[in-house]
Amino acid sequence: MIKTMSKRTPRPAAARRTTMKSFHARFLARETGLLAFNRRVLAQAQDKDAPLLERLRFLCIVSSNMDEFFEIRVAELKERIKMGDEVGREGAKSASELFAAVSSEAHAIVNEQYRVLNEELLPELASEKVRFLQEKDWSPQQHKWLQDYFQREMVPLLTPIGLDPAHPFPRVLNKSLNIAVALEGRDAFGRSSGTAIVQAPRLLPRVIRLPEKVSGRAYHFVLLTSVLQAFLGALFQGMTVLGAYPFRVTRNSDLFLDDEEIKNLRTALQGELPQRHFGDTVRLEIATGCPRNMEHFLLQQFDLTDHDLYRVDGPVNLVRLMQVPDLIDLPKLKYPPFLPGLPKALEKQGDLFAQIRKGDILLHHPYQSFNPVIELLEQAAADPNVVAIKQTVYRTGTDSVLMQYLIDAAKRGKEVTVVVELLARFDEEANLNWAAKLEEVGAHVVYGVVGYKTHAKMLLVVRREEGRLRRYVHLSTGNYHTRTAKLYTDFGLLTANPAICDDANELFKQLTGLGHARKLTHLWVSPFTLHERIIAAVRRESRNAKAGKPAHIIAKMNTLLEPRVIDALYAASGIGVKVDLLVRGVCALRPGIPGLSENIRVRSIIGRFLEHSRIFYFLNGGEENVYLSSADWMERNFFRRIEACVPVLDPKLKARVIREGLRSCLADNLQTWEMDSEGVYHLRKASRGSIPVSAQAQLLAQLSAG
């Protein structure tokens, strides 16, 4: 649920006396938090001030997020119900109660998505001469062109399946487009089952752009479903098509690997990946207009109920419209382009190693370029003085220049060690492919530690200088992914600090070798020290507050769920510590409850860029300790992942992180959503007479090159 407010209104006295007894639990449910986040993203698609094609993109992002929500979170809820997990813990809802609440809100979000598409975006796009033509809109010339396209490009790939005892219902791939066809008549063999399934191959484009000579306009599109519905009668010669109804199923896509049974993680994963497409079904999407008897038939085939059925007034997969903005060259309908800037230390191109030796370098993406990271690897691969390169890989993409430089370095005889996380969700296949390519050229490829995902973002280069070896390190809050570096906000630190480099090298040793964890000088590392150090830092602020000293915690992250950290923050608030939380996604902590969390504020910024950086600030009596981390405050990040958290030691860079990463977000009054104690988010508005502030727009103006 999302509301808009101009400013926080005072609570009545009765409300101010509220205690935790009036709430279901001390913590908000993760599932409802994810849906609340998608409501905030959906609000971007509704924002009349945003460029039109960007609004369409946000609408598609909601669909992509919802797909993953069903594939992972709803699938888990259904498993809990199946296993009899019906007793809510600590007053929380049972799995069945939570599923009912989630189902109701998910249906509401989907309905609102299609309302926005049909009532706002499509009409406004049509006014800009960007149209999605339905069959009733086709001119005779367009009809002929599309019919030829169907025969030429589609018929050879289509395999219609008529359902009868010899042809059971086909296996339907996860999230694939399918058409249920109602038929009348008998075929050449005298069969008359009345139902067939046409599966759309994934090779076929879901959006077809009509040639300008055919449409008379530059940007007229036709959806694949429209073409299939119009012409698939040709697949059933001599029979009458009574109706063609697009549908899509979503399946449980979490991978199950038994840590105790795994002898070779790579082999086990290769065996498990194909099954992802055929997990248990959790959702059925059907285009409106499908008759009830066909809906019942499909629900039966997938062992689903009406709660799992989503009737959609439009394409059953809005994610496929994500490509549309890239097909349209209308700058006024998109965010203005920008050129990422560079820190002053790197404005003069040259030897990166020499620049890093002069002092630590901070990169703030996407406002500042990711190219220095790429150049560091490029120079390291080519430099004869570089003897070794070590890097972690979590998400890097299928076409990565960074991976190519690692391959080049290995070909040149350098010691290249790559810790590839094979279980990076939905990137497993890409990472398997890179692992194979790296091994082919002699790189050392390891897969971290079974049972612990390697989520730390680290690059270490060893270079021979003046008769000795010197290390250089890049540590980051984000992935080594050139595309997301242009879309996600992240910080990266380039350093030759001997103690930090030694810590990073020690962490690589733990990942690739065996032995006890050595005490590190600066890095906080999961699963060993990060959780206890965060708790200790929070408690130190509490002690300072008890002593009458100023105490302040600012933490920015994607997700806050870990109960012991939340309890420590509750305790700190009760003592008087001011706590500002910038949590983009799910936050289980309830802010603003008198006696428990009245000194805590939770805010979420949703804008042009995905807020992705993890920054932890502790006032510490005026010392101002600042850390950059790969980890959110979640149980998995603290105890089931390998994460790195690095302090920002240079005073000038520390001031930059505080100013750019934290204070700018706290000042934002245009794209900030503030959470109340019920978990409801309110859009923060600039008060009358105040200056409107968008943190992202401000940082673009300050840091980009134009």
- Which residue spans of the chain are classified as CATH 1.20.58.310? 21-103
Q: Where are the alpha helices (DSSP H) in 194-301?
A: 212-215, 224-231, 265-272, 292-301
Residue 702 pLDDT exceeds 80? yes
Which pLDDT band, with edges at 50, 70 and 90, does 631 fall under?
very high
What does the pLDDT look like over 218-228, one tens digit per residue? 999 999 999 99
Span 40-67, average pLDDT: 97
- Residue pair 316/285 in contact (Cβ under 8 Å)? The answer is yes
- Which residue spans of the chain are classified as CATH 3.30.870.10? 344-521, 525-703
Which entry of 455, 481, 531, 612 is annotated as an active-site residue?
455
Alpha-carbon separation of residue 181 from 164, 195, 290, 310, 576 (angstroms):
14, 6, 10, 19, 65
What does the pLDDT look like over 117-129, one tens digit per residue? 999 999 999 999 9
Residue 642 pLDDT exceeds 60? yes
User: So what's the pLDDT on residue 188?
Assistant: 66
- For residue 49, which amino acid is it? D
Q: Tell which wins on pLDDT, 684 or 44.
A: 44
Q: Which of 194-203, 249-258, 447-456 has the highest mean pLDDT?
A: 194-203
Span 171-183, average pLDDT: 93
**CB proximity list for 48: less than 8 A, separation 6 or greater:** none
Which pLDDT band, with edges at 50, 70 and 90, does 425 fall under?
low
- Which residue spans of the chain are classified as CATH 3.30.1840.10? 133-258+280-333
Q: Exposed, middle or buried: residue 379 (CB in 10 Å: 0-12, 13-18, 19+)?
A: middle
d(CA 647, CA 533): 12
Span 28-52, average pLDDT: 96
The neighbour count for residue 59, using CB atoms within 10 Å, is 24
Span 337-359, average pLDDT: 93
Residue 7 pLDDT exceeds 60? no
Both tokens assigned to 255: 């991978």
User: So what's the pLDDT on residue 267?
Assistant: 58
User: So what's the pLDDT on residue 469?
Assistant: 96
Which pLDDT band, with edges at 50, 70 and 90, does 348 fall under?
confident
Residue 24 pLDDT exceeds 50? no
d(CA 146, CA 161): 23
**CB proximity list for 634: less than 8 A, separation 6 or greater:** 559, 560, 561, 562
User: So what's the pLDDT on residue 445?
Assistant: 87
Which pLDDT band, with edges at 50, 70 and 90, does 694 fall under?
very high
Residue 229 pLDDT exceeds 60? yes
d(CA 614, CA 662): 10
- For residue 604, which amino acid is it? S
pTM: 0.90
User: So what's the pLDDT on residue 687?
Assistant: 80
CA 127 to chain centre: 32
- Residue pair 192/182 in contact (Cβ under 8 Å)? The answer is no
CATH architecture of 525-703: 2-Layer Sandwich (3.30)
User: So what's the pLDDT on residue 450?
Assistant: 77
Q: Kindly report the CA angle at 495 between 658 and 453, in degrees rounded to 5?
A: 85
Average pLDDT taken over every residue of the chain? 89
For 229-238, 443-452, 560-569, which range has the lowest pLDDT when averaged over its residues? 443-452
- The single-letter DSSP state of residue 150 is I
- Residue 673 β-bridge partners: 604, 683
Which pLDDT band, with edges at 50, 70 and 90, does 663 fall under?
very high
Residue 89 pLDDT exceeds 70? no
Q: Tell which wins on pLDDT, 83 or 244.
A: 244
Instruction: Identify the CATH number of the domain defined by range 344-521.
Output: 3.30.870.10
Which pLDDT band, with edges at 50, 70 and 90, does 13 fall under?
very low
User: So what's the pLDDT on residue 190?
Assistant: 67
- Residue pair 283/70 in contact (Cβ under 8 Å)? The answer is yes
pLDDT > 90: percent of the chain: 76
Does the annotation count 612 as an active-site position? no
Residue 260 pLDDT exceeds 60? no
User: From its phi and psi, is residue 249 left (phi > 0), alpha (psi between -120 and 50) or beta?
Assistant: beta
- Residue pair 236/192 in contact (Cβ under 8 Å)? The answer is no
User: So what's the pLDDT on residue 275?
Assistant: 52
d(CA 62, CA 2): 15
User: So what's the pLDDT on residue 18?
Assistant: 34
d(CA 612, CA 477): 8
What does the pLDDT look like over 506-541, one tens digit per residue? 999 999 887 788 899 999 999 999 999 999 999 999
What does the pLDDT look like over 281-329, one tens digit per residue? 999 999 999 999 999 999 999 999 999 999 999 999 999 999 999 999 9
Alpha-carbon separation of residue 340 from 51, 138, 598 (angstroms):
21, 43, 40
Please report the beta strands in 200-280, taking only residues with DSSP state E, as ranges in sequence order: 207-209, 219-223, 240-251
d(CA 314, CA 300): 23
User: So what's the pLDDT on residue 634?
Assistant: 97
Given this structure, which CATH class describes domain 21-103? mainly alpha
- For tokens 């870990």, what's the residue? 562
d(CA 489, CA 631): 15
- Residue pair 390/513 in contact (Cβ under 8 Å)? The answer is no
Report residue 371: phi and psi, to 5°.
-55, -35
**CB proximity list for 193: less than 8 A, separation 6 or greater:** 162, 163, 164, 183
CATH homologous superfamily for the domain 133-258+280-333: Polyphosphate kinase middle domain (3.30.1840.10)
Which pLDDT band, with edges at 50, 70 and 90, does 14 fall under?
very low
Which pLDDT band, with edges at 50, 70 and 90, does 706 fall under?
confident
Both tokens assigned to 666: 């706290």
Q: Is the peptide bond before 366 cis (omega within 30 degrees of 0)?
A: yes
Residue 6 pLDDT exceeds 50? no
User: So what's the pLDDT on residue 210?
Assistant: 96
Residue 3 pLDDT exceeds 80? no
Q: Is the peptide bond before 527 cis (omega within 30 degrees of 0)?
A: yes
User: So what's the pLDDT on residue 322?
Assistant: 95
Which pLDDT band, with edges at 50, 70 and 90, does 249 fall under?
very high
Span 626-655, average pLDDT: 97
Closest CA to 335 of 700, 702, 656: 700
What does the pLDDT look like over 383-422, one tens digit per residue? 999 999 999 988 777 788 999 999 999 999 999 999 988 7
**CB proximity list for 36: less than 8 A, separation 6 or greater:** 1, 2, 586, 679, 680, 681
